[in-house]
Amino acid sequence: MTSTPLPAANGAPSGRKARDLGLHMGSMPNGPHNAITDVAGVRVGHTTLISGDGPLVQGSGPVRTGVTVVIPGEEPWRQPLFAAPHRLNGNGEMTGLELIRESGQLTSYIGLTNTHSVGVVRDALVAHEVGLQPAGKEYWSLPVVAETWDGALNDLNGFHVKPEHVFAAIDSAHGGHVAEGSVGSGTGMVAHGFKGGIGTASRVVNTHDGGFTVGVLVQANHGRRDRFSIDGTLIGPRITLPSDAETGGSEVPDARFATGFPEGSGSIIVIVATDAPLLPHQCARLAQRATLGIARLGGAGENGSGDLALCFSTGGGIPPTFSGSAAPVTYPVTALSNDRIDPLFYAAIEATEEAIVNAMLASDTMVGINGAIRYALPHDQVRHLLGITETR
Protein backbone atom coordinates (compact mmCIF):
# COMPACT_ATOMS: atom_id res chain seq x y z
CA MET A 1 0.00 0.00 0.00
CA THR A 2 1.21 3.47 -0.84
CA SER A 3 1.08 5.71 2.19
CA THR A 4 -1.75 8.19 2.08
CA PRO A 5 -0.65 11.83 2.45
CA LEU A 6 -0.99 13.11 5.98
CA PRO A 7 -2.92 16.31 6.74
CA ALA A 8 -1.19 19.66 6.92
CA ALA A 9 1.43 20.05 9.61
CA ASN A 10 0.32 21.36 12.97
CA GLY A 11 -0.32 25.06 12.87
CA ALA A 12 -0.61 25.32 9.09
CA PRO A 13 -3.90 25.90 7.21
CA SER A 14 -4.89 22.89 5.11
CA GLY A 15 -6.62 24.75 2.30
CA ARG A 16 -9.19 21.96 2.30
CA LYS A 17 -11.97 23.35 4.44
CA ALA A 18 -15.47 23.86 3.09
CA ARG A 19 -14.89 27.58 2.71
CA ASP A 20 -11.72 26.93 0.72
CA LEU A 21 -13.92 25.12 -1.80
CA GLY A 22 -16.33 28.04 -1.96
CA LEU A 23 -18.91 26.35 0.27
CA HIS A 24 -20.36 28.71 2.88
CA MET A 25 -22.79 26.95 5.20
CA GLY A 26 -25.01 29.16 7.30
CA SER A 27 -24.97 32.93 7.64
CA MET A 28 -22.53 33.62 10.47
CA PRO A 29 -18.84 34.54 10.11
CA ASN A 30 -16.14 32.17 11.27
CA GLY A 31 -13.21 33.03 13.52
CA PRO A 32 -9.67 33.65 12.21
CA HIS A 33 -8.72 29.96 12.12
CA ASN A 34 -12.24 28.53 11.68
CA ALA A 35 -11.44 26.12 14.48
CA ILE A 36 -12.23 25.34 18.10
CA THR A 37 -8.96 27.10 18.92
CA ASP A 38 -10.58 30.42 18.03
CA VAL A 39 -11.85 30.26 21.61
CA ALA A 40 -8.91 31.76 23.49
CA GLY A 41 -6.95 29.28 25.58
CA VAL A 42 -8.17 26.14 23.81
CA ARG A 43 -5.47 23.93 22.30
CA VAL A 44 -5.54 20.68 20.30
CA GLY A 45 -2.90 17.98 19.89
CA HIS A 46 -2.78 14.77 17.85
CA THR A 47 -0.81 11.54 17.73
CA THR A 48 -1.41 9.65 14.48
CA LEU A 49 -0.61 5.93 14.19
CA ILE A 50 -0.39 4.50 10.66
CA SER A 51 1.58 1.36 9.87
CA GLY A 52 1.35 -1.87 7.93
CA ASP A 53 -0.94 -3.07 5.17
CA GLY A 54 -2.54 -6.26 3.93
CA PRO A 55 -4.37 -8.95 5.93
CA LEU A 56 -5.37 -8.27 9.51
CA VAL A 57 -3.03 -9.84 12.05
CA GLN A 58 -4.39 -9.01 15.48
CA GLY A 59 -1.73 -7.24 17.51
CA SER A 60 0.40 -6.45 14.48
CA GLY A 61 -1.87 -4.42 12.21
CA PRO A 62 -2.54 -2.82 9.89
CA VAL A 63 -2.80 0.16 12.23
CA ARG A 64 -4.96 3.17 11.42
CA THR A 65 -5.73 4.91 14.71
CA GLY A 66 -4.48 7.53 17.17
CA VAL A 67 -5.23 10.01 19.93
CA THR A 68 -6.50 13.58 19.95
CA VAL A 69 -6.43 15.74 23.08
CA VAL A 70 -8.44 18.94 23.52
CA ILE A 71 -7.00 21.18 26.22
CA PRO A 72 -9.79 23.52 27.37
CA GLY A 73 -7.52 25.71 29.48
CA GLU A 74 -4.45 25.51 31.66
CA GLU A 75 -4.84 23.10 34.58
CA PRO A 76 -8.63 22.68 34.49
CA TRP A 77 -8.32 20.43 37.56
CA ARG A 78 -7.32 23.62 39.42
CA GLN A 79 -9.34 26.12 37.36
CA PRO A 80 -12.56 24.31 36.37
CA LEU A 81 -14.88 25.40 33.59
CA PHE A 82 -18.67 25.28 33.53
CA ALA A 83 -19.73 22.42 31.26
CA ALA A 84 -22.51 20.00 30.39
CA PRO A 85 -23.09 17.06 28.01
CA HIS A 86 -25.91 15.98 25.74
CA ARG A 87 -26.75 12.52 24.40
CA LEU A 88 -28.39 12.14 21.00
CA ASN A 89 -27.95 8.36 21.07
CA GLY A 90 -26.02 6.49 23.70
CA ASN A 91 -24.36 3.55 21.92
CA GLY A 92 -20.98 5.01 22.80
CA GLU A 93 -18.77 6.14 25.64
CA MET A 94 -17.55 9.39 27.13
CA THR A 95 -16.03 8.96 30.58
CA GLY A 96 -16.34 11.49 33.38
CA LEU A 97 -19.85 12.65 32.48
CA GLU A 98 -21.46 11.80 35.81
CA LEU A 99 -19.12 14.18 37.62
CA ILE A 100 -19.82 16.89 35.04
CA ARG A 101 -23.58 16.40 35.44
CA GLU A 102 -23.24 16.46 39.22
CA SER A 103 -20.90 19.45 39.54
CA GLY A 104 -21.54 21.32 36.30
CA GLN A 105 -17.79 21.58 35.86
CA LEU A 106 -15.12 20.23 33.51
CA THR A 107 -11.93 19.50 35.45
CA SER A 108 -9.74 17.66 32.93
CA TYR A 109 -8.35 17.60 29.44
CA ILE A 110 -10.56 15.85 26.88
CA GLY A 111 -9.17 12.75 25.19
CA LEU A 112 -10.51 11.23 21.96
CA THR A 113 -9.57 7.80 20.61
CA ASN A 114 -10.96 4.50 19.33
CA THR A 115 -13.48 2.37 21.20
CA HIS A 116 -11.05 -0.09 22.77
CA SER A 117 -8.45 2.48 23.79
CA VAL A 118 -10.61 4.54 26.13
CA GLY A 119 -9.09 2.92 29.20
CA VAL A 120 -5.46 3.52 28.32
CA VAL A 121 -6.13 7.12 27.32
CA ARG A 122 -8.04 7.74 30.54
CA ASP A 123 -5.24 6.24 32.64
CA ALA A 124 -2.63 8.29 30.78
CA LEU A 125 -4.55 11.52 31.39
CA VAL A 126 -4.72 10.66 35.09
CA ALA A 127 -0.97 9.93 35.13
CA HIS A 128 -0.26 13.23 33.39
CA GLU A 129 -2.29 15.15 35.96
CA VAL A 130 -0.72 13.28 38.87
CA GLY A 131 2.72 14.08 37.50
CA LEU A 132 1.94 17.81 37.71
CA GLN A 133 1.00 17.69 41.39
CA PRO A 134 3.37 18.45 44.28
CA ALA A 135 5.17 15.41 45.66
CA GLY A 136 3.12 13.58 48.26
CA LYS A 137 -0.15 15.32 47.48
CA GLU A 138 -3.26 13.17 47.61
CA TYR A 139 -4.98 13.49 44.25
CA TRP A 140 -7.82 11.94 42.25
CA SER A 141 -9.19 12.55 38.78
CA LEU A 142 -12.12 11.51 36.59
CA PRO A 143 -11.03 12.72 33.14
CA VAL A 144 -13.15 12.91 30.01
CA VAL A 145 -12.32 10.43 27.24
CA ALA A 146 -14.62 9.74 24.29
CA GLU A 147 -14.50 7.14 21.53
CA THR A 148 -15.73 6.07 18.14
CA TRP A 149 -15.17 2.72 16.42
CA ASP A 150 -12.44 2.44 13.76
CA GLY A 151 -12.58 -1.32 13.22
CA ALA A 152 -13.38 -1.07 9.49
CA LEU A 153 -9.81 0.11 8.80
CA ASN A 154 -7.82 -0.48 11.99
CA ASP A 155 -6.61 -3.45 14.03
CA LEU A 156 -8.94 -2.35 16.80
CA ASN A 157 -8.26 -5.32 19.05
CA GLY A 158 -4.51 -4.95 18.69
CA PHE A 159 -4.52 -2.20 21.34
CA HIS A 160 -1.93 -0.06 19.59
CA VAL A 161 -2.61 3.16 21.49
CA LYS A 162 -0.16 3.48 24.38
CA PRO A 163 0.30 6.03 27.18
CA GLU A 164 3.23 7.64 25.37
CA HIS A 165 0.92 8.48 22.47
CA VAL A 166 -1.35 10.39 24.84
CA PHE A 167 1.60 12.26 26.33
CA ALA A 168 2.83 13.11 22.82
CA ALA A 169 -0.58 14.50 21.87
CA ILE A 170 -0.55 16.68 24.98
CA ASP A 171 2.97 17.88 24.25
CA SER A 172 2.03 18.76 20.66
CA ALA A 173 -1.13 20.65 21.57
CA HIS A 174 -1.28 24.19 20.22
CA GLY A 175 -3.65 26.96 19.27
CA GLY A 176 -4.18 28.32 15.78
CA HIS A 177 -4.89 26.05 12.83
CA VAL A 178 -5.85 22.47 13.69
CA ALA A 179 -4.91 19.50 11.52
CA GLU A 180 -8.07 17.77 10.27
CA GLY A 181 -9.16 14.60 8.53
CA SER A 182 -7.27 11.34 8.98
CA VAL A 183 -5.24 12.56 11.91
CA GLY A 184 -5.06 11.66 15.60
CA SER A 185 -8.13 9.83 16.84
CA GLY A 186 -9.82 10.43 13.49
CA THR A 187 -7.28 8.37 11.55
CA GLY A 188 -9.44 5.29 10.98
CA MET A 189 -12.89 6.87 11.01
CA VAL A 190 -15.64 6.81 8.37
CA ALA A 191 -18.45 9.35 7.92
CA HIS A 192 -21.54 8.92 5.74
CA GLY A 193 -19.74 6.16 3.82
CA PHE A 194 -16.72 8.32 2.98
CA LYS A 195 -13.43 8.74 4.81
CA GLY A 196 -14.13 10.72 7.97
CA GLY A 197 -12.11 11.86 10.96
CA ILE A 198 -11.37 15.05 12.86
CA GLY A 199 -12.98 18.31 11.77
CA THR A 200 -13.32 21.72 13.32
CA ALA A 201 -15.02 25.06 12.67
CA SER A 202 -16.06 28.20 14.51
CA ARG A 203 -18.62 30.98 14.42
CA VAL A 204 -18.60 34.48 15.90
CA VAL A 205 -21.82 36.19 16.98
CA ASN A 206 -22.24 39.87 16.22
CA THR A 207 -21.08 42.53 18.65
CA HIS A 208 -24.66 43.48 19.52
CA ASP A 209 -25.07 39.98 20.97
CA GLY A 210 -21.73 40.01 22.77
CA GLY A 211 -19.26 39.16 20.01
CA PHE A 212 -18.73 35.70 21.50
CA THR A 213 -17.00 32.82 19.72
CA VAL A 214 -18.29 29.25 19.50
CA GLY A 215 -15.79 26.63 18.35
CA VAL A 216 -16.53 23.00 17.56
CA LEU A 217 -14.35 19.93 17.08
CA VAL A 218 -15.86 16.65 15.88
CA GLN A 219 -14.71 13.08 15.56
CA ALA A 220 -16.98 12.04 12.67
CA ASN A 221 -17.57 8.31 12.28
CA HIS A 222 -21.30 8.17 11.68
CA GLY A 223 -24.11 8.46 9.18
CA ARG A 224 -25.40 6.86 6.00
CA ARG A 225 -24.32 7.70 2.50
CA ASP A 226 -27.88 7.67 1.18
CA ARG A 227 -28.85 10.43 3.63
CA PHE A 228 -25.77 12.61 3.27
CA SER A 229 -26.66 16.22 2.48
CA ILE A 230 -24.64 19.43 2.34
CA ASP A 231 -26.27 22.83 2.63
CA GLY A 232 -29.71 21.28 2.16
CA THR A 233 -28.81 19.30 -0.98
CA LEU A 234 -28.87 15.49 -0.89
CA ILE A 235 -25.59 14.48 -2.54
CA GLY A 236 -24.55 11.13 -1.03
CA PRO A 237 -26.42 8.89 -3.49
CA ARG A 238 -25.35 11.08 -6.42
CA ILE A 239 -21.62 10.76 -5.82
CA THR A 240 -19.79 8.07 -7.78
CA LEU A 241 -17.02 6.04 -6.13
CA PRO A 242 -14.74 3.40 -7.67
CA SER A 243 -16.20 0.75 -5.36
CA ASP A 244 -19.85 1.29 -6.29
CA ALA A 245 -20.06 -1.57 -8.79
CA GLU A 246 -18.87 -3.99 -6.11
CA THR A 247 -20.61 -2.62 -3.04
CA GLY A 248 -23.80 -1.24 -4.53
CA GLY A 249 -23.01 2.11 -2.93
CA SER A 250 -23.08 0.72 0.61
CA GLU A 251 -19.91 1.86 2.33
CA VAL A 252 -20.59 1.72 6.08
CA PRO A 253 -18.87 -0.06 7.70
CA ASP A 254 -17.51 -2.07 4.70
CA ALA A 255 -19.76 -4.18 2.52
CA ARG A 256 -16.93 -6.61 1.75
CA PHE A 257 -15.21 -7.11 5.07
CA ALA A 258 -17.50 -6.13 7.94
CA THR A 259 -19.56 -8.59 9.93
CA GLY A 260 -23.10 -7.41 9.48
CA PHE A 261 -23.28 -3.98 11.10
CA PRO A 262 -26.11 -2.07 9.42
CA GLU A 263 -25.56 1.26 7.71
CA GLY A 264 -25.77 4.06 10.25
CA SER A 265 -23.77 2.08 12.79
CA GLY A 266 -21.06 4.45 13.93
CA SER A 267 -20.65 7.41 16.19
CA ILE A 268 -19.81 11.07 16.40
CA ILE A 269 -18.27 13.04 19.23
CA VAL A 270 -18.85 16.79 19.32
CA ILE A 271 -16.82 19.09 21.57
CA VAL A 272 -18.24 22.62 21.79
CA ALA A 273 -16.21 25.46 23.30
CA THR A 274 -17.28 29.05 23.84
CA ASP A 275 -15.98 32.15 25.56
CA ALA A 276 -19.55 33.24 26.33
CA PRO A 277 -20.20 33.23 30.10
CA LEU A 278 -22.54 30.25 30.31
CA LEU A 279 -23.83 28.42 33.35
CA PRO A 280 -23.97 24.60 33.21
CA HIS A 281 -27.61 24.44 32.14
CA GLN A 282 -26.81 26.84 29.31
CA CYS A 283 -23.85 24.68 28.25
CA ALA A 284 -26.29 21.76 28.08
CA ARG A 285 -28.50 23.78 25.77
CA LEU A 286 -25.59 24.51 23.42
CA ALA A 287 -24.51 20.85 23.44
CA GLN A 288 -28.06 19.88 22.50
CA ARG A 289 -28.16 22.38 19.61
CA ALA A 290 -24.93 20.95 18.22
CA THR A 291 -26.83 17.78 17.40
CA LEU A 292 -29.00 19.82 15.04
CA GLY A 293 -25.83 20.38 13.02
CA ILE A 294 -25.47 16.59 12.80
CA ALA A 295 -29.06 16.37 11.59
CA ARG A 296 -28.57 19.01 8.90
CA LEU A 297 -26.20 16.63 7.09
CA GLY A 298 -28.49 13.63 7.43
CA GLY A 299 -27.36 12.19 10.76
CA ALA A 300 -30.20 10.68 12.73
CA GLY A 301 -28.70 9.23 15.91
CA GLU A 302 -29.41 5.69 14.75
CA ASN A 303 -29.76 2.80 17.19
CA GLY A 304 -26.20 1.62 16.62
CA SER A 305 -24.64 5.07 16.89
CA GLY A 306 -23.00 6.79 19.83
CA ASP A 307 -23.66 10.49 19.35
CA LEU A 308 -22.38 12.47 22.32
CA ALA A 309 -21.75 16.19 22.72
CA LEU A 310 -19.95 18.14 25.45
CA CYS A 311 -19.95 21.92 25.78
CA PHE A 312 -17.70 23.95 28.03
CA SER A 313 -17.42 27.68 28.68
CA THR A 314 -14.16 29.51 29.25
CA GLY A 315 -16.02 32.64 30.35
CA GLY A 316 -17.66 31.45 33.54
CA GLY A 317 -15.22 32.95 36.01
CA ILE A 318 -14.88 30.00 38.40
CA PRO A 319 -12.04 30.79 40.81
CA PRO A 320 -9.18 28.35 41.35
CA THR A 321 -10.32 25.41 43.45
CA PHE A 322 -9.05 24.91 46.97
CA SER A 323 -10.05 21.96 49.10
CA GLY A 324 -12.04 21.93 52.30
CA SER A 325 -12.25 25.10 54.36
CA ALA A 326 -9.81 26.89 52.02
CA ALA A 327 -12.51 27.06 49.35
CA PRO A 328 -14.50 30.32 49.23
CA VAL A 329 -17.97 30.13 50.71
CA THR A 330 -19.35 31.96 47.67
CA TYR A 331 -18.01 33.50 44.50
CA PRO A 332 -19.54 35.79 41.88
CA VAL A 333 -20.13 34.63 38.31
CA THR A 334 -21.25 36.35 35.13
CA ALA A 335 -23.94 34.65 33.07
CA LEU A 336 -25.43 35.28 29.66
CA SER A 337 -29.10 36.19 29.65
CA ASN A 338 -31.22 33.37 28.29
CA ASP A 339 -33.04 35.96 26.23
CA ARG A 340 -29.79 36.58 24.33
CA ILE A 341 -28.67 32.97 23.84
CA ASP A 342 -30.24 32.25 20.44
CA PRO A 343 -27.22 33.51 18.44
CA LEU A 344 -25.06 31.00 20.31
CA PHE A 345 -27.51 28.25 19.38
CA TYR A 346 -27.19 29.17 15.72
CA ALA A 347 -23.40 29.32 16.05
CA ALA A 348 -23.22 25.84 17.57
CA ILE A 349 -25.44 24.41 14.83
CA GLU A 350 -23.51 26.00 11.98
CA ALA A 351 -20.07 25.21 13.39
CA THR A 352 -20.99 21.56 13.98
CA GLU A 353 -22.39 21.19 10.49
CA GLU A 354 -19.27 22.67 8.92
CA ALA A 355 -16.87 20.76 11.20
CA ILE A 356 -18.28 17.47 9.95
CA VAL A 357 -17.90 18.53 6.32
CA ASN A 358 -14.39 19.79 7.05
CA ALA A 359 -13.48 16.40 8.53
CA MET A 360 -14.56 14.69 5.32
CA LEU A 361 -13.02 17.19 2.91
CA ALA A 362 -9.65 16.99 4.69
CA SER A 363 -9.50 13.19 4.56
CA ASP A 364 -7.72 11.29 1.81
CA THR A 365 -8.66 7.83 0.60
CA MET A 366 -7.32 5.23 3.03
CA VAL A 367 -6.62 1.50 2.70
CA GLY A 368 -6.81 -0.44 5.93
CA ILE A 369 -7.16 -3.98 7.22
CA ASN A 370 -7.65 -6.74 4.62
CA GLY A 371 -7.38 -4.14 1.87
CA ALA A 372 -10.59 -2.40 2.94
CA ILE A 373 -10.84 0.99 1.25
CA ARG A 374 -12.55 4.12 2.40
CA TYR A 375 -12.70 6.71 -0.35
CA ALA A 376 -12.30 10.41 0.21
CA LEU A 377 -15.24 12.68 -0.43
CA PRO A 378 -14.44 13.84 -3.99
CA HIS A 379 -14.11 17.61 -4.01
CA ASP A 380 -14.85 18.01 -7.71
CA GLN A 381 -18.12 16.08 -7.49
CA VAL A 382 -19.19 17.98 -4.38
CA ARG A 383 -18.60 21.32 -6.07
CA HIS A 384 -20.45 20.18 -9.20
CA LEU A 385 -23.46 18.84 -7.29
CA LEU A 386 -23.70 22.02 -5.21
CA GLY A 387 -23.25 24.31 -8.20
CA ILE A 388 -20.06 25.89 -6.89
CA THR A 389 -18.10 27.42 -9.74
CA GLU A 390 -15.52 29.46 -7.89
CA THR A 391 -13.44 28.97 -4.77
CA ARG A 392 -12.52 31.89 -2.56
Give the catalytic positions in this structure.
Answer: 267, 305, 307
392 CB-contact burial (10 Å; exposed 0-12 / middle 13-18 / buried 19+): exposed
Q: Phi/psi of residue 269, each to 5°?
A: -110, 135
Classify 232 in phi/psi space as left (phi over 0), alpha (psi -120 to 50) or beta: left
Backbone angles phi, psi at 76, to 5 degrees: -65, -20
Report the C-alpha gap between 51 and 111 in whole angstroms. 22
Note whether 160 and 60 are within 8 A (CB): no
CB 39 within 8 A of CB 273: yes
Beta strands in the chain (DSSP E): 43-51, 63-71, 81-90, 105-106, 110-114, 144-148, 190-191, 194-195, 197-204, 213-221, 229-230, 233-234, 266-274, 305-313, 366-367, 373-374
81 close to 100: Cβ distance less than 8 angstroms: no
Give pairs for 383-390: CB < 8 Å, separation 24+: 383/21, 383/22, 383/23, 385/233, 385/235, 385/238, 385/239, 386/23, 386/230, 386/231, 386/233, 386/235, 388/21, 388/22, 388/23, 389/22, 390/22
> Closest by alpha carbon to 183, among 201, 195, 175?
195
Cα torsion 355, 346, 285, 236: sign: negative
Q: Is 12 left (phi over 0), alpha (psi -120 to 50) or beta?
A: beta
| Residues near 258 by beta carbon (within 8 Å), at least 6 away in sequence | 152
214 DSSP β-pair partners: 203, 274
Burial class of residue 386 (count of CB atoms within 10 Å of its CB; 0-12, 13-18, 19+): middle
Helix (H, G, I), strand (E, B), or coil: what is residue 294? helix
